[in-house]
Amino acid sequence: MRPMDGLARALEALPKVDLHCHVEGTMRPTTVVELARKNGVPLPTAEPADLYTYSSLDEFLAVFWLVQSTLVDRDDWARLAYEAVTDSARHGVVHQECFFTPARHLAGGQRLAAIVAGLDEGLAAAEAETGTTCRLIADMDRAFGPEAGRQLVEELVGLRSARSPGTDRVIGVGMDSTELGVDSTTYAPAYDVARAAGLRLTGHQGENSTAQQVAACLDALGLERLDHGVPVLDSAVLTAQMVDERIPITVCPTSNVVIAHCFDRLEDHVLPRMRAAGLLATVNTDDPALSDLDLGREYAAVAEAFGWGWNQMVEVALDGIEASWLDESEKADLRARVVMAEGPRV
């Protein structure tokens, strides 16, 4: 890794929010090895970093599922959550809204209440240590189908009503996994349950699907936020709707290159055109450990790729705060921290 220049150092320290980060995708390679050994999970290599090369989204998902399989009990989830926040805080992240995708664990016999309680335990410890805050979004795994998604949301709502430990930290629901051959609008019943319970709504769409499919999801599911959204600009009508309604897009530029292979290189990404069109397009990490990334380096890479300076990156950070699901007083506090941040020394 080359030494950071002045702008990169300033962007590392700039207070930032990460709204598109899968907590399972933050797992340190050493943690993968240790949890696999503890839980008797066979790995194809003793060096997990060797796994983290992908020629397609589906290949990435296979590795992601392997990493998930090392999470067997509440303590594993607590460790994962603690390390996720302490690692991100070192790179200027002051607030995260992290996805967790429990479908495979629930199918294997784990309890949602224990998963959430474990995550909450680790997050609380990390928050107390770092000052970085984290909220959770329960993601439905499209590989398991819409009925499993509805059951997940209904169980989550029930646990929240019963004040099960940690469930107040789960503020929204989403969906992830492959988009190919999946009609995401069939998840409407699950989103209806979430909406009625006051949960916030987001969803992964547009990583390997069309603008028409994105538009259908917004209309059928009532999404308040869109994760990835790469092809939005292909539809003038969709773009206008998202600009007018200020619907955020949680863009993951490096991930779109190295995981989904939407672009050959970062310089080809549509993010600059998204922002020029007036879209509330934010910058996030997706699966930072699995793509050798952190949000400080992502900001620096974006700035270099698109020729953006300090002021433009501050605007990106402020837009991230706007797109978050914090309350207005919390947003105001974070905006003040961003505006007061020290830029690169000349």
Backbone angles phi, psi at 283, to 5 degrees: -115, 130
DSSP three-state, residue 172: strand
Asked if residue 302 lies in contact with residue 253, where contact means CB atoms within 8 angstroms, the answer is yes
Q: What is the pLDDT of residue 112?
A: 98
- Please say if 207 is a catalytic residue: yes
Q: Are 85 and 132 in contact (CB under 8 A)?
A: yes
Among residues 24, 121, 179, 207, the one annotated as catalytic is: 207
pLDDT of residue 70: 97
Query: pLDDT by residue (tens digit) across 50-96?
Result: 777 777 777 888 889 999 999 999 999 999 999 999 999 999 999 99
Owner of token pair 């959550």: 81
Encode pLDDT of 126-146 as tens digits.
999 999 999 999 999 999 999
**Domains of the chain: residue spans and CATH:** 6-336 (3.20.20.140)
Per-residue pLDDT, 1: 43
pTM over 0.75: yes
Q: What is the dihedral of CA 218, 98, 77, 177, to 10 degrees?
A: 40
CB under 8 Å to 288, separation ≥6 — which residues? 21, 25, 26, 87, 88, 294, 295
Per-residue b or e along 325-342, where b marks 16 or more CB atoms closer than 10 Å to that residue's CB: bbeeeebeebeeebeebe
Non-local CB neighbours of 250 within 8 Å, separated by 6+ positions: 19, 20, 202, 225, 226, 227, 228, 229, 282, 284, 323
Q: What is the pLDDT of residue 4?
A: 65
pLDDT at 27: 96
pLDDT of residue 3: 54
Per-residue pLDDT of the chain (346 residues; tens, 9 = 90+): 455 689 999 999 999 999 999 999 999 999 999 999 999 999 988 777 777 777 777 788 888 999 999 999 999 999 999 999 999 999 999 999 999 999 999 999 999 999 999 999 999 999 999 999 999 999 999 999 999 999 999 999 999 999 999 999 999 999 999 899 999 999 999 999 999 999 999 999 999 999 999 999 999 999 999 999 999 999 999 999 999 999 999 999 999 999 989 999 999 999 999 999 999 999 999 999 999 999 999 999 999 999 999 999 999 999 999 999 999 999 999 999 999 999 998 6
What DSSP line would sit under 205-255, residue for residue?
ESSSS-HHHHHHHHHHH--SEEEE-TTGGG-HHHHHHHHHTT--EEE-HHH
Distance in angstroms (rounded) separating the CA atoms of residues 207 and 60:
13
Sign of CA dihedral 220, 225, 228, 234: positive
Residue carrying the six token digits 């069309």: 210
